[in-house]
Structure 1
Amino acid sequence: MRLSNTRAFPFEYETVQSRISQAKQSLVHAHQWKLFVLALILLDFLSVGLAFRVAYFVRFNLGFPLFRLEVVPNYEFYIHLVYVLIPGWLLLYAFFGLYNRQYLLSGTREYARIFSATLTGMLLVIVVGFLGPDFVVARGWLVASWLLAFLFTSGGRFLVRRLIRIFREKGFFIAPALIIGANEEGQLLAEQLSDWKYSGLNVLGYVDNHPPAEGSMGAHPLPYLGGTPALDELVRRFGIEELVVATSAISREDLLDLFKKYGVGSGVNLRLSSGLYEIITTGLDVTEIASVPLVKVNKVRLTGVDRVLKNLMDYSIALLLMIPLLPVMGIIALLIKLDSPGPVIHRRRVMGVNGKTFDAFKFRTMYVNGDEILEQYPELKEELARTHKLKDDPRVTRVGKFLRKFSLDELPQLFNVLRHEMSIVGPRMISPAEINEYRKYGINLLTVRPGITGLWQVSGRSDVSYDERVRLDMYYIRNWTVWLDLQLLLRTIPAVIKGRGAY
């Protein structure tokens, strides 16, 4: 009887089976995230508890002269206090969205939320101590608890992110997604979201009422799955959880229909692009003028507090490094002079914010007649024009090879940082001729100052292809936070020591 029904109604049977399969898949996917959140809560519980315990050891057992040694610790008091504070800390984490799937695995933004939550916890304890004179805690213990809770929780989340990437390679924690719109903007969105290890999205294809022309789907085409009338069936069949809309590809009426169907309580997340994909990295501000909400495009990527924090970090790090590195730079200058004739400093004309050019300082690593030397190697000259780099460059001096290997040739760029032309961390600086290599992304690159180090530096430097370098630069600009800069600074040290990709 079952076989007969299958033959008589093949479409209905296939649809029912598909829906059952997708329902099971969605259920498994939901369980994955529930288990993940429970594991996070347990990890945070252990991290915060360990932070309070280590803080007690630091304050009362190490005997730092910074603390008042005559204070007698009350171990019982702190044990009972921790029993109250740990659940309170976890409630604060929940309040700041640290168990909300929307904010999980968001990298530096997640660390910023942890910082805010732990700071709020410390301030609440201070307020309770102010209102209740009988409630007294050691200030050293409280400050140490705050810092250690932030460090331990952030470290745990960092390890979790690495673990999730491994799980995603095996098909876990990936949400099926569709892109609404197969125009140029839709294809750019697909390109950025295609690395599901980072995006967490398995983009299955495009939905568009205007089928794209054959051969117009770029180097890595996704399938065209039909128009918006087929969207309900596609969502059911593939268990779609994310709809990413290229707003420039659909009409206002179609956009309103999408919002009515999926914008409220459908179990599918509806995400709209800005329609300004080319300049979105500068950030957008929504303001009302005469009760009309209008979107203003910022001229630079960093504004307000972000700009202040970036400048403060640049100047403080540059000044701190200059003191011990000035003698080192003097020795390097002497070695360059002894190794080959010519100036010590090479000035490279590069592009800065809003296309303003400036001279980036570097220690000279090439012979002064480098162009003449290169003319003797036509194949290398062709490779240089194509890739903008040479692994075995005959123009590089003996000292220059050593300086490049450990990035010592870039030390003079600290003066560029003090002159507000560069940042400590940022995208790779480029010459005016290279801007065309960035194509649609060139305008984005010029919204921030170039950096001495950056995501390209810790990802392999010259071993990274030019297209990959462009992608890394765009990722950095779009996702900048002060936490991302600090993370990249910490990763720069082992990258420089290893010398991988430096030539």
Structure 2
Amino acid sequence: MEESVRARPLPARDSRPGGTVRATARVPATDWERGYRAWVVTSDLAATVVVVLLGAAVVGWLGWRTSASWVLAAGTVLAVACALAAGRAWNKRVLGEGAEEFRRLGRGLFSAGVLVGLAGLLTGALAVQPWVFVVIPAIGLVAFPQRYVLRRLLHRARRRGGCLLPVMAAGSPDSVRDLITRARGASHVGWRVEAVCTADGAAGEVGGVPVVGGLAELADHVRRGGYRVVAITSDPYWTPERLRRLAWDLEGTEAEMVVAPVLMEVAGPRLNVSGVLGMPLLRVAAPTFTGGRRLVKEIVDRVASAALLIALSPLLIVIALAVRVTSAGPVIYRQRRVGRAGQTFTMYKFRTMVADADRVRAALRESNEGAGPLFKLRRDPRVTRVGGLLRRYSLDELPQLCNVLTGRMSLVGPRPPLPEETEAYAPEVRRRLLVKPGLTGLWQVSGRSDLSWDESVRLDLRYVEDWSLALDVVILWKTARAVLGGAGAY
């Protein structure tokens, strides 16, 4: 499957003075998209058919209107196919990108359940109950993992340089350079910036990408170059009238126009576009730190931490014995950390260092490799042999489940800081303390100790501002991969 969605290398583009572009024969950028979409549609329908056939066999075996079970089976397959198509769950713009793909798949299956239920209600067929409450959810249990596997294959192909969308970036050199850097660092997004347009259109490069012309001729360059994405970044040139005119000029092309926000970095469910007084307005909702969703998060934290402590108790006992036998000192390391609203609490970890590690720290301060106020050493001489293994796979942090159970921490949240770290916080960084610190978070799944201080702060603030239950689920899912890989842990 992976080879079928790989894209052949795109022909190089020649730039000439004046911003003209030599048209080249190129492989259509949509070839791999069609192939990937075909794989997604086929896998969804195959999962639906297989699960429905099994459901029909089970329903018939249980004696629930055997003669009608196959009619219901056919109706269920048709309902799922129509619901996914109508809900645009197979739209190429969302496949392999973000959580929207999985949201549409979930909404489509839910709509299919509603359709089957209404059909049963209208026809008086009470036998639809197992199809609505068992078969369709079972389709989801198969379809969601299939989508995830296909996405992983797509991301692997993108890391190797295939299945990338050619992007034209247009804006100021600084903002375009930032976009290029982010696109290269996040290959899974699928963007490859191949050309740049700036206000003056002077020949040269921005971030290693050739400048092919000015902003005034952007639409012409897009039409000749066959770009799939036109990324608009900040520049004084852009006015509402010019952006509207550009959108009109791009009509009829395969290009998708994307405008980067320049006022604030806010994303996710807090953003909503609406029309007021004939003007498109980007509404930014206030971040939620209380309410029903927070209550759900609190309940999930307590229940999940209790369940994990029970399930992992044999492993916890083995780790405790290993720490106790291999080095002198207590099994559990206690440390004061700062939680929500600046309140301090005692955080628990398995001891991974020698007993007098805190006293030795002063002598190692000059060798500090940590970012910002953090103290980190890749080869810390205080770490024991067992401690190094525990740190690599984050097993030393399992006792923090007790902090989650008592309500001082959350399963997902910003990194719990030391008191001396918070004393050096700038006002904006103190927003990390608006929510409970987490056992894991965006910092954990984005590089851990390899992150710079600024990047770590940016990720924590992004979580505080854009928190949602769906984001927590994604972070918990990615944490397992990050921990098993052991990258960035020391």
Taking structure 1 as the reference length, the TM-score comes to 0.74
**Residues 16-415 of structure 1: matches in 2 within 5 Å?**
18-19=22-23, 21=24, 25=27, 28-56=28-56, 71-133=62-124, 135-137=125-127, 139-169=129-159, 172-182=162-172, 184-195=174-185, 197-209=187-199, 220=207, 222-246=209-233, 248-251=234-237, 253=239, 255-263=240-248, 265-267=251-253, 268-280=255-267, 283-285=270-272, 295-300=282-287, 307=294, 309-324=296-311, 339-341=327-329, 344-350=332-338, 356=342, 358-359=344-345, 361-363=347-349, 364-374=351-361, 381-384=367-370, 388-397=375-384, 400-401=387-388, 403-415=390-402
Stretch of structure 1 that moved more, 475-484 or 446-455: 475-484
Residue number in structure 1 paired with 2:4? none
Q: How much has 1:486 moved relative to structure 2?
A: 3.5
Q: How much has 1:203 moved relative to structure 2?
A: 1.3
- SS of 2:334 mapped into structure 1: strand
Q: How much has 1:84 moved relative to structure 2?
A: 2.8
Q: How much has 1:51 moved relative to structure 2?
A: 1.8
CA distance in 2, matches of 1:174, 1:102: 13
- SS of 2:380 mapped into structure 1: coil
Residues 253-303 of structure 1 deviation map (CA, whole Å, 9 limit, x = unaligned)? 3x4223223246242322222222445578335678888776554443778
**Would you say the 8 A contact 2:169–2:196 is kept in 1?**
yes
CA distance in 1, matches of 2:127, 2:297: 35
- SS of 1:38 mapped into structure 2: helix
C-alpha spacing 1:15/1:335, structure 2 compared with 1 (3 Å):
closer
**Would you say the 8 A contact 1:335–1:399 is kept in 2?**
yes
CA distance in 2, matches of 1:410, 1:59: 46
CA distance in 1, matches of 2:314, 2:417: 29
**Would you say the 8 A contact 2:302–2:405 is kept in 1?**
yes
- SS of 2:29 mapped into structure 1: helix
C-alpha spacing 1:455/1:369, structure 2 compared with 1 (3 Å):
same
Amino acid at match of 2:121: F
- SS of 1:236 mapped into structure 2: helix
Amino acid at match of 2:69: Y
Residues 336-394 of structure 1 deviation map (CA, whole Å, 9 limit, x = unaligned)? 67854469442243465xx7464461224334532443455577x34357884323322
- SS of 2:126 mapped into structure 1: coil
- SS of 1:105 mapped into structure 2: coil
Structure 1 unaligned regions, length at least 5: 1-10, 62-70
Matched pairs, number: 467
CA distance in 1, matches of 2:425, 2:209: 23
C-alpha spacing 1:205/1:432, structure 2 compared with 1 (3 Å):
farther
Residues 413-457 of structure 1 deviation map (CA, whole Å, 9 limit, x = unaligned)? 234434555331345444577689999995886676543124554
C-alpha spacing 1:336/1:38, structure 2 compared with 1 (3 Å):
closer
Stretch of structure 1 that moved more, 277-286 or 89-98: 277-286
**Structure with higher helix content:** 1
**Would you say the 8 A contact 1:243–1:271 is kept in 2?**
yes
Q: How much has 1:92 moved relative to structure 2?
A: 0.6
CA distance in 1, matches of 2:343, 2:382: 25
Q: How much has 1:93 moved relative to structure 2?
A: 0.6
C-alpha spacing 1:153/1:343, structure 2 compared with 1 (3 Å):
closer
**Would you say the 8 A contact 1:176–1:203 is kept in 2?**
yes
Percent identity reads 27
Q: How much has 1:150 moved relative to structure 2?
A: 0.9
Residues 63-112 of structure 1 deviation map (CA, whole Å, 9 limit, x = unaligned)? xxxxxxxx414555333332232232111111111121222212432112
Structure 2 unaligned regions, length at least 5: 1-15
Q: How much has 1:400 moved relative to structure 2?
A: 4.0
Residue number in structure 2 paired with 1:7? none
C-alpha spacing 1:444/1:250, structure 2 compared with 1 (3 Å):
farther
Query: What's the C-alpha RMSD, in Å, of the aligned pairs?
Result: 4.6
Amino acid at match of 2:46: L
- SS of 2:304 mapped into structure 1: helix
Amino acid at match of 1:136: L
- SS of 1:101 mapped into structure 2: coil
